[in-house]
C-alpha cells in the first residue's frame, strides 16, 4: 500500500522531471551502499600495496614550519585586495545588491519552470563552455537552478576582484588567476550529487562508475607516488618510434645534453641549405612529429627540406650544474657545427620553438660578437618570447618568493621535477586539462581516450637546477634578455638588437604561454628583415596546423612595419588555412636552390642509432 506522502513525493519527482533522467531513489540508495562496501575494499588493498611504514617518513618534513602553506604566494595579494575593498565599501555593496537582484530573478524564473510556465534564464553559459551540454542542465528546473546559481556567483566573484582599485598589476593578475582556479574547481559539474550526467550513469551502472572511478584515482595516486597524477590518455596506446614520432631518420651525433637527428629525405632533390629545428627542452621534440598526417617534420621533408632536429636529454641530478650557456654551446652551436661537417654546407636555416626560440635569439646575438652569425642564413621563431614584461598567465607563478621556493626544491634534488612543471601548465587551462579528466576518470569511471597530443603533454621533462634558476630569474623575473647587455653567456654580453639574420616570427592569437602581443616585441628588436605571422588558436594547435587539416584556424598577415601589435592587427589581412605554405615560400628564398638528396648514411657523421633516438624515450615516470 502506498502512503499519501510517498505518492506526493513521487509526483514531485515526476513534476520536476527527475523520472525523465532515470533518477530512482531506491536504486540510488542501493548503489551507494554497494559502492561504500566495494570502495572500502579497494582502499584497503591500496594501502596494503603502498607498504607504508613510519621508518620511511621524515617527521621533520611534516612539521608546520617545514610545510609551505602558501606555495603560490597569494596571501599577500589577497590581503591587499581585502584592504582595498574595505576602503571602498560602496563598490562591495553595489556588487552584492546586483547579485541579490539577480538571485531574485533566478528564483522567480525557477518557480515558473517548476510550474510548467514559460520562463527565461537569468544567465547562460558562454558558447565556448562545454560543461553544461547535458540537456538536464536546461530542461530540469533544479539542475538549471544549480547551473545558473553557479554562473551568477562566478560572475559576481569575477567582477568583485576585477573592479578593485589600488592593486599592482602583478597582484591583480595573481588574484584574477587564482579566483578563476577556485571558480573552475567549484563548478557543479565536478561533483557527484550536482552533475546529472554522473547521477544518471551511477543509476544505470548500479554504481559501477564510482567503483571504477575510485580505482582509477588510486592508480593515479600510485603512479604519482602519493601525489595525484591525473591520467589524460591511455599511455599504453602509444610507443615512441612505433606509432608516434615515426618519421625515419638517424641519430648522427650526441653529447650529454642532446642527440642530433638527421631525417631521411623523402624527395629526390633537397634544398641546399639544411634546416635545424631547436625544440624547447621543457617538452619533448615529437610535438612536431606526432603522426604522419600532422607531422611538421614529415611535411618539411616532403617540401624538399633537409631536416635535422635536436632531441634534448631528460636531465637527472648529474646535470644539475648545466646552465644556459651549456645549453647554447652544447645545443645549437654544436648542432650547427655537426650539420656543417656532415653536409659540407657553410650555412643552415634554423627554427626555434618556444624556449628553443629564446635560445636561438640569444645564440644569434652571441655568434654576432664571435663574428660567426653568418653561419645561420635565416631564423624562424615559433611562439617565442624575448621580452617577458607581459608573460601572460605564467606571470602569476613568478615572484621572488615563488622562485626562491622552486630553487630550494631544486637544490635538494638537482632539478625541477617534470610533473611540477606539467601541473603549472595544466592550470592555465584547468577545465580542459584537469577537471574534464576528473569527471571522466573518477566520476564517470571511464578510461581516458587515446590521444597522441595528450600523451605528449603527459610526457614531461626535468629542468637542471642551475639552468632553470637562471631562466626564471633573468627572463621572467627581471626581464634581462631584452635589455642590451642584460645577460652574459660565456663571457659575452647579449644584445638582441644586433641580430641581422632574416627572421620569420610565428605567433598564435590564443597563446596562454607566449602571448602574441608580447612576442611581437621581436619585430621591433631585431635589426634584420622580419616577417611576422599570427596564426589562429593557441601555443600548440596554432603551430601544428597542417594544410590538410580541413582549413582550420587561418592566419593574419601585414607587411607594414608597425610599432604596436594592435596597429599591426588592425591592418592585417586574414587568410584561410594553414600558415605552413606561407613559411615554405619564405624559407625557399634562403635555401640556395636544390641539390641531390642527402641521406644520413651518405654523410660524414657516424650513425649512432635510428630516430627518434634513446634520449626522447626517457620518461620521468619510469625512472
Q: What angle do CA 478, 484, 487 make, to 5 degrees?
A: 50
Residue 374 DSSP label: G
CA 531 – CA 518 distance, rounded (Å): 16
Q: Could you give phi then psi for residue 109, rounded to 5 degrees?
A: -65, -35
Residue reference for cell 618556444: 354
Beta strands at 530-535 and 555-557: parallel, antiparallel or unpaired: antiparallel
* Residues in a beta bridge with 557: 533, 573
| 348-353: strand order across its sheet | 573-575, 555-557, 530-535, 503-508, 376-382, 348-353, 275-278, 307-312, 258-263, 249-254, 609-610
Retrieve residue 238's grid coordinates.
Answer: 602509444
Is the preceding omega at residue 178 within 30 degrees of 0, hence cis?
A: no
Among the options 354, 375, 509, 603, which is catalytic?
354
Beta strands at 275-278 and 348-353: parallel, antiparallel or unpaired: parallel
CA 265 – CA 403 distance, rounded (Å): 44
The answer to whether residue 375 is catalytic is no
CA 467 – CA 318 distance, rounded (Å): 13
Find, among 387, 381, 390, the residue nearest to 530 by Cα: 381
CA 271 – CA 385 distance, rounded (Å): 29
Q: Dihedral of the CA atoms 288, 292, 296, 297 (nearest 10)?
A: 80
CA 11 – CA 622 distance, rounded (Å): 56
CA 187 – CA 262 distance, rounded (Å): 48
Instruction: Identify the helix (H) or strand (E) that includes residue 594.
Output: strand 594-596
- Residues with a catalytic annotation lie at 354
Amino acid at each position: 500500500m502506498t502512503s499519501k506522502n510517498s505518492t506526493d513525493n513521487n509526483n514531485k519527482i515526476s513534476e520536476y522531471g527527475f523520472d525523465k533522467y532515470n533518477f530512482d531513489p531506491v536504486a540510488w540508495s542501493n548503489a551507494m551502499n554497494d559502492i561504500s562496501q566495494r570502495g572500502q575494499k579497494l582502499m584497503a588493498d591500496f594501502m596494503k600495496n603502498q607498504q607504508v611504514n613510519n621508518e620511511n617518513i621524515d617527521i621533520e618534513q611534516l612539521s608546520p614550519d617545514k610545510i609551505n602553506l602558501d606555495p603560490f604566494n597569494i596571501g599577500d595579494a589577497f590581503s591587499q585586495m581585502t584592504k582595498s575593498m574595505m576602503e571602498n565599501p560602496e563598490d562591495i555593496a553595489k556588487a552584492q545588491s546586483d547579485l541579490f537582484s539577480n538571485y531574485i530573478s533566478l528564483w522567480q524564473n525557477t518557480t515558473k519552470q517548476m510550474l510548467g510556465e514559460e520562463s527565461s534564464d537569468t544567465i547562460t553559459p558562454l558558447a565556448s563552455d562545454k560543461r553544461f551540454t547535458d540537456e538536464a542542465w536546461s530542461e530540469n528546473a533544479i539542475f538549471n537552478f544549480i547551473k545558473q546559481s553557479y554562473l551568477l556567483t562566478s560572475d559576481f566573484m569575477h567582477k568583485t576582484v576585477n573592479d578593485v582599485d589600488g592593486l599592482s598589476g602583478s597582484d591583480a593578475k595573481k588574484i584574477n588567476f587564482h579566483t578563476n582556479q577556485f571558480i573552475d574547481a567549484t563548478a557543479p559539474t565536478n561533483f557527484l550529487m550536482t552533475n546529472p550526467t554522473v547521477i544518471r550513469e551511477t543509476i544505470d551502472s548500479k554504481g559501477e562508475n564510482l567503483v571504477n572511478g575510485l580505482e582509477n584515482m588510486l592508480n593515479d595516486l600510485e603512479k604519482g607516488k602519493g601525489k595525484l597524477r591525473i591520467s589524460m590518455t591511455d599511455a599504453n596506446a602509444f610507443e615512441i618510434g612505433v606509432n608516434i614520432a615515426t618519421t625515419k631518420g638517424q641519430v648522427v651525433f650526441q653529447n650529454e645534453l642532446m642527440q642530433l637527428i638527421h631525417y631521411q629525405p623523402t624527395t629526390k632533390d633537397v634544398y641546399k641549405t639544411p634546416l635545424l629545428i631547436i625544440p624547447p627542452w621543457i617538452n619533448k621534440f615529437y610535438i612536431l612529429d606526432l603522426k604522419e598526417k600532422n607531422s611538421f617534420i614529415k611535411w618539411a621533408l616532403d617540401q624538399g627540406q633537409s631536416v635535422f632536429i635536436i632531441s634534448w636529454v631528460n636531465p637527472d641530478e648529474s646535470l644539475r650544474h648545466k646552465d644556459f650557456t651549456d645549453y647554447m654551446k652544447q645545443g645549437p652551436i654544436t648542432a650547427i657545427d655537426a650539420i656543417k661537417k656532415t653536409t659540407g654546407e657553410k650555412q643552415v636555416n634554423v627554427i626555434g620553438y618556444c624556449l628553443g626560440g629564446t635560445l636561438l635569439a640569444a645564440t644569434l646575438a652571441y655568434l654576432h660578437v664571435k663574428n660567426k652569425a653568418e653561419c645561420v642564413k635565416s631564423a624562424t621563431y615559433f611562439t617565442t618570447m624575448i621580452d617577458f614584461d607581459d608573460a601572460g598567465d605564467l606571470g602569476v607563478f613568478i615572484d621572488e618568493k615563488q622562485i626562491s621556493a622552486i630553487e630550494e626544491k631544486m637544490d635538494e634534488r638537482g632539478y625541477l621535477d617534470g610533473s611540477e612543471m606539467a601541473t603549472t601548465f595544466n592550470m592555465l587551462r584547468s577545465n580542459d586539462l584537469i577537471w574534464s579528466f576528473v569527471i571522466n576518470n573518477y566520476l564517470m569511471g571511464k578510461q581516458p581516450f587515446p590521444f597522441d597530443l595528450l600523451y605528449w603533454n603527459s610526457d614531461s621533462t626535468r629542468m637542471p637546477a642551475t639552468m632553470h634558476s637562471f631562466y626564471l630569474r633573468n627572463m621572467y623575473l627581471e626581464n634581462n634578455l631584452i635589455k642590451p647587455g642584460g645577460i652574459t653567456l660565456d663571457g659575452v654580453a647579449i644584445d638582441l638588437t644586433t641580430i641581422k639574420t632574416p627572421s620569420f616570427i610565428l605567433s598564435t592569437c590564443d597563446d596562454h604561454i607566449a602571448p602574441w602581443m608580447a612576442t611581437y616585441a621581436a619585430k621591433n628588436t631585431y635589426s634584420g628583415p622580419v616577417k611576422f605571422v599570427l596564426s589562429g588558436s593557441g601555443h600548440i594547435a596554432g603551430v601544428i596546423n597542417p594544410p590538410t587539416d580541413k582549413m582550420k584556424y587561418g592566419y593574419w598577415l601585414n607587411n607594414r612595419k608597425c610599432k604596436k601589435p594592435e596597429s599591426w592587427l588592425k591592418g592585417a589581412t586574414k587568410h584561410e588555412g594553414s600558415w605552413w605554405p606561407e613559411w615554405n615560400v619564405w624559407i625557399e628564398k634562403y635555401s640556395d636552390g636544390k641539390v641531390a638528396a642527402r641521406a644520413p648514411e651518405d654523410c660524414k657523421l657516424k650513425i649512432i642509432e635510428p630516430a627518434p633516438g634513446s634520449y626522447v624515450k626517457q620518461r620521468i615516470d619510469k625512472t
